[in-house]
Structure 1
Amino acid sequence: MSIQSTIYSLLPSLPPAARRIGELIVAEPAVVLQSTISELAKRCQTSDPSVVRFCRTLGFTGYVQLRLALATEIGREIAAEPNAPQFGEDISPADSLGDSVEKLRFTEVMAIEETLKALDLEQLNTAAERIDGSSRVLLYGVGAGAVVAEDFAYKLSRIGRIAQRFADLHGALMAAALARPGDVAVLFSHSGQTPEIMQFLRAVKQRGVKTIAVSNVRQSALAKEADHCLLTMVRETEFRAGAMASRIAQLAIVDCLFVAVAQRSYQPTVTALELTRQAIEQQLAR
């Protein structure tokens, strides 16, 4: 699992001193390799013990272990793509069109790779079982998450599953009011804090519906309150290159969920895909 992406995903839940440390490392990963613990603490206007606590939050025993792990990660990234931009680097007015395209390519490819490498297969399998055994799948996202929800609804409908995607909170809440324990809700929020998503989550849980969250923030309210959570590994940027990558990472998780569900009824799935393909081809041939 990427240390840099893990730090980014934890930022919203960190206390102020730890957040300053995390923000500096995300912006300048090499600072850990170039600074002593005291130098890093001074730059972040905090203390040496605060840096140690930050390291332990990431699962390391201390600063030395973080330096070694981050040096390995940075070296691996450079070896894989020597001329690649820094992951998470934003698009600037000085970039050529080619530079902008390269930054987008690198950000989106890395987001998919890190998301799928870190994907919890046990959670994925359980989520797929929930969807496979459900009476109906309720899908809700806001903004870029709405696009992902619509894509998943389309995929599920092609294999004969009952899936509903809601365009606004009113529609989502009406569906929640009529939801039953056999239903499953899948919710998309990069931050895990989107108010509309949280309102829908709590409404369906009151109706006994099992919930599956797709989010980038492990410690978010959505990740904590949902029955199951599938995490993306993406770093956002001010120019929205990250928001584009977050959508791509969520779509990758949707593809994994779809395949996991489809494999449970392989032959009926193949038949359904063929029948729906033929239906479209016949319409186009008229």
Structure 2
Amino acid sequence: MIKKGKKVGLTLQIQTSYNQLTKAEKKVADYILANPEKVLYMSITDLANVCEVGETSVYRFCRTMLFQGYQEFKMQLSLYLASEENNDSALDSSKLEDRVMSSHIQAIEESYQLLDAKMLQQMIEMMEESKKIYFFGVGDSLQIAQDAWNRFIRITDKVSIINDPHMQSMAISLGGPEDLLVLFSYSGATKDIIHIAKQAKEAGVKVVCITHFKQSPLIAYTDAYLLCGSKESPLEGGSTSVKVGQLFLVDLLFQTYRSRNKAVSIENQHKSTRAVVEKLV
């Protein structure tokens, strides 16, 4: 076996270790060698399903290759592919603006294509029926939660946001059936978010989320969900394109809620605007 610390291509490392793999692990190795770019954007569940093996087989493959787990493997795969791309060709800076614009447009288009109208309707109805709505996220997803709160606080007084994950857990443990928790998590596998979702369900709080992976641990705790578009590799944490896709869904929720509750929303919007008008230059 080639030690992970040595400077050798990741694909070569897999190839030289191939005979030591189990039958299930070889299925994983075969798919990775044939589709490295696709794997970069797949969850462990996605990879296990496409290889027709269990998630434990994917994890064992990563351990056999001397990685701590799937996320570390994807990080190294991302680094390897990035180095290969840099070796093949230099980035055409004159086209950079086109690439950025294209990725943002694609994120919105993918989010629109993934949109489930029934799920959207269900989420809006739960927001209308709830006495209190919490917007929670962790890390980069917290920024989206803050943007959502910033939009809704102008038209309703029942929205709330808490930044610290520990405080989020404590607050939601005191919630009940009349409350709604809106979670933001691109991966749907962040430990803090899963912990909060689990506590919410134990307290009887309704849970909805905006995420990317339909087959993720978070989905099991939700009553409804919306899927955002765009792909994010381990080296692109906090990707702007991912945020653009999520913000499209946030704005869709806001605009739909506002149009269905137009009179009170307009009245509250006037009040909230007047509250800060003297501070504006």
- Distance change >3 Å, CA 22–CA 273, structure 1 → 2: farther
1:1-286 alignment, distance < 5 Å? 17=27, 21=31, 24=34, 27=37, 54=50, 94-240=90-236, 243-284=239-280
1:180-209 deviation digits (Å, cap 9, x = unpaired): 210000111111100000000011111111
236-245 vs 102-111, which deviates more?
Answer: 236-245
Report how far residue 280 of structure 1 moved: 2.1
> How many residues end up aligned between the 2 structures?
217
SS at match of 2:273: helix
- Distance change >3 Å, CA 24–CA 122, structure 1 → 2: farther
Tell me how far apart the structure 2 counterparts of residues 23 and 154 of structure 1 sit (CA, whole Å). 45
Tell me how far apart the structure 2 counterparts of residues 105 and 216 of structure 1 sit (CA, whole Å). 20
Tell me how far apart the structure 2 counterparts of residues 136 and 178 of structure 1 sit (CA, whole Å). 12
Q: Could you say which residue in structure 2 is the equivalent of 1:6?
A: none
**What letter corresponds to residue 120 of structure 1 in structure 2?**
D
- Name stretches of at least 5 consecutive residues in structure 2 with no aligned partner: 1-23, 39-48, 53-80
Report how far residue 276 of structure 1 moved: 1.9
Report percent identity of matched pairs. Answer: 25
1:135-172 deviation digits (Å, cap 9, x = unpaired): 11111111221011001111111002321212121110
Is the Cα contact below 8 Å between 1:205 and 1:211 reproduced in 2? yes
Report how far residue 282 of structure 1 moved: 2.3
Tell me how far apart the structure 2 counterparts of residues 267 and 184 of structure 1 sit (CA, whole Å). 23
- Distance change >3 Å, CA 167–CA 242, structure 1 → 2: closer
1:226-245 deviation digits (Å, cap 9, x = unpaired): 11111112211354188221
Structure 1 stretches of 4+ with a deviation exceeding 4 A read: 22-26, 53-56, 89-93
Tell me how far apart the structure 2 counterparts of residues 179 and 96 of structure 1 sit (CA, whole Å). 52
- Distance change >3 Å, CA 101–CA 264, structure 1 → 2: same
- Distance change >3 Å, CA 282–CA 229, structure 1 → 2: same
**What letter corresponds to residue 207 of structure 1 in structure 2?**
A
16-25 vs 250-259, which deviates more?
Answer: 16-25
Is the Cα contact below 8 Å between 2:137 and 2:183 reproduced in 1? yes
SS at match of 2:208: strand
Q: CA RMSD, aligned part only?
A: 3.0
Query: What TM-score does the superposition give when structure 1 sets the normalisation length?
Result: 0.67
Is the Cα contact below 8 Å between 2:201 and 2:221 reproduced in 1? no
SS at match of 2:156: coil
Tell me how far apart the structure 2 counterparts of residues 199 and 209 of structure 1 sit (CA, whole Å). 14
- Name stretches of at least 5 consecutive residues in structure 1 with no aligned partner: 1-14, 29-52, 57-88
Tell me how far apart the structure 2 counterparts of residues 109 and 173 of structure 1 sit (CA, whole Å). 35
